[in-house]
Chain A
């Protein structure tokens, strides 16, 4: 059974304080690892898809990386508007997406 574990559960940062969120996974035949951002009361907003170990993608202050066992979402010099819950999901050979519990990020000004 595919599994996704995200850590930490919650992260509080000062504005400008860089950090990383972790997503550890086990999956039968990785077809994609996905990062989403979710604001309270709203649907998840797609950020990145990674397909193979060594792959990296960037968008503004966010950078996602992938190894065979985990993915990191690096946040550089975060701003208060980056506060949200970040979700990680994997899709395996069965075509089913499995989501983690998410990391709730709070960035204080």
Chain B
């Protein structure tokens, strides 16, 4: 139990589907992150929320839409994805954006776009 829970663990979706990834943290943290991890590539930061406010969007295509209703929950809404979007999507949380402390990761959602 890492304190950060992601659902679903696996997702297969067609290019015309709409789906959502969910992340919940039980650590009392105020910053939450979405990362994308593709084969043979380093972790790519997608979005950052600090105290429920989006503070960073690293040029992510609009087919990915994040939502952070409170400091404990983070969603990633997906629509009209492309096959190259297939990857492991990781959620993480940390004390806050500026804090020195480490980030804790969930187990990820393995997304396959067909």
| Interface set of A (CB-CB < 8 Å, partner B) | 4, 31-32, 34, 36, 41-46, 49, 51, 87, 89, 91, 95-97, 99-102
Contact = CB atoms under 8 A, between A and B. Distances in A.
Contacts, number: 51
Residues of B contacting A: mostly: loop
B110 A41 contact: yes
Contact of A99 (B2, B42, B101): B42
A43 B102 contact: no
B100 A43 contact: no
A42 B43 contact: no
Given A49-B102, A87-B43, 6 more contacts: A31-B100, A46-B104, A46-B105, A49-B100, A51-B100, A89-B43
Contact of A43 (B41, B56, B97, B107): B107
Given A96-B45, A99-B43, A41 B100 contact: no
B90 A44 contact: yes
B103 A97 contact: yes
A44 B6 CA distance: 13
